[in-house]
Amino acid sequence: MPKSWFLRAGLLTGLLFLYIPIALLIVLSFNDNRSVSVWSEFSFRWYGELLRDDQLLSAAWLSIRVAFISASFAVVLGTMAGMMLARFGMFKGRAFFSGMVSAPLVMPEVIMGLAMLLLFVSMEQMFGWPEGRGMLTIILAHITFTMSFVTVVVQSRLVSMDASLEEAAMDLGARPAKVFFVITLPLIAPAIVSGWLLAFTLSLDDLVITSFVSGPGSTTLPQIVFSSVRLGLSPKVNALATIVVAIVAIGIIAAGIYNAQQEKQRRRDEQMAQQGS
């Protein structure tokens, strides 16, 4: 902890500001009363209503499928783009490419969504594909905006990583493809996993871009949540929020434990290696 009381107060304020709203949602999700100001009794009523809401459940299932497929494609494209930017040196059009990759990181979503929709409409007019808007167009749009985040994660890992192992493998005659799959890929695996998780989360959570490119038959979870909270408070959303926070917390704790164990293993290996030599 920092020593100065001013810094401690600043840190505490920031953390309280970030966590009080989330904590409040969790508490309220167990409140039997509809109102946020009246606590009647502890109950799982809203969780029950959430699980009986078929429309919401089918939207959640669609969102999960979309996020899974988009994240998987985004990881492949993002890793390729990260390799290009970190390992291919100066190639023709590098600045242009790096501009295209990083623009979606900050581009307002309304612009991205509108642009994507107009592309799909024009493509359908010209080639007849993709036919209408639905799951496919949502996935294509999500791949495009999430691959940028994967690229940043993978690229920063590659840049901070020593290239000497790859060079050594190449000096020993390994082909570029083999170097990538045997040396580089295992080393950047943690970055690829976090890139996938990031892409999955972003896709699962996206409302604006999805609203532009989705069709009448494909409504995702954020769209359902949005239309219900637009009219004010909706206690079912509290229950949903609590479930999301629980899943994220479990995931983060599991990742933390895994990382700590890996670190321990690595230290042990290093000690063994030193003793052996």
Partner 1 sequence: MAEITQSEMRHTGFLGLLQRFGLSGRALVMAVPYAWLLLFFLIPFLIVLKIALAESQMAIPPFTALVEMTEELKYQITVTFYNFHSMVTDDLYIIAYLNSVKIAFISTLCCLVLGYPVAYAIAKADPKWRAPLLMLIILPFWTSFLIRVYAWIGILSNNGVLNNVLMWLGIIDQPLQILYTPTATYIGITYSYLPFMILPLYSTLERLDNTLLEAAADLGCPPWKAFLTITLPLSVPGMIAGALLVFIPAMGEFVIPELLGGPDTLMIGRTLWTEFFNNRDWPLASAVAVALLLFLVVPIMLFQNVQGKQGGHP
CB of 48 to partner 1, least distance (A): 19
Minimum distance, C-beta of residue 21 to partner 1, in the bound complex (Å):
4
CB nearer to partner 1: give 6 or 271. Answer: 6
Residue among 251 and 272 whose Cβ is closer to partner 1: 251
Q: Half-sphere exposure (CA, 13 Å, Cβ side) for 136?
A: 7
215 binds partner 1 (CB under 8 A): no
Contacts (CB under 8 A) with partner 1, residues 123-142: 125, 140-141
CB of 130 to partner 1, least distance (A): 12
Q: How many residues bind partner 1 (CB under 8 A)?
A: 104
Q: Which residues pair with 131 in a beta bridge?
A: none
We find the least distance from the C-beta atom of residue 99 to partner 1, in angstroms, to be 5
Out of 21, 48, 132, 217, name the contact with partner 1 by CB under 8 A.
21
Q: Which stretch binds partner 1 (CB under 8 A): 46-54, 64-72, 117-125, 265-273?
A: 117-125
Q: Residues 143-182: x/- map of binding to partner 1 (CB under 8 A)? A: xx--x----x--xx--x---x--xx--x----xxx-x---
Pick one of 17, 54, 274, 276: the residue that binds partner 1 (CB under 8 A): 17
- How far, in Å, are 63, 76, 79, 226, 241 from residue 205 at the CA level? 9, 21, 22, 11, 12
Residue 112 tokens, joined: 């991205």
- Of 41, 54, 55, 108, the one binding partner 1 (CB under 8 A) is 108
Give 29-84 as a DSSP string: TTBSSSSSS----B--HHHHHHHH-HHHHHHHHHHHHHHHHHHHHHHHHHHHHHHH
- What φ, ψ does residue 228 adopt, rounded to 5°? -85, -30
* Shortest distance (Å) from residue 111 CB to partner 1: 5
Would you give the binding string for partner 1 spanning residues 232-271, x where CB under 8 A is met?
xx---x--xx--xx--xx-xx---x---------------
Tell me the angle at which helices 109-127 and 135-160 cross, rounded to the nearest 10 degrees.
120
Give the one residue of 84, 134, 190, 215 binding partner 1; rule: CB under 8 A: 84
Minimum distance from CB of 175 to partner 1 (Å)? Answer: 6
Shortest distance in whole angstroms from residue 113 CB to partner 1: 9
Using the rule CB under 8 A, which residue among 53, 57, 102, 187 binds partner 1?
102
How far, in Å, CA of 114 to CA of 28, rounded? 36
- Per the CB < 8 A criterion, the answer to whether 98 and 85 are in contact is yes
| Cβ(236)–Cβ(27) below 8 Å | no
User: How far are the Cα atoms of 88, 96, 214, 218 from residue 93, in angstroms, in the given order?
Assistant: 12, 5, 33, 38
Which residue type, as a one-letter code, is found at position 86?
A
Q: Which is nearer to partner 1, 57 or 121 (CB)?
A: 121
User: What one-letter code names the amino acid at 43?
Assistant: S
- ω into 130 cis (within 30 of 0): yes
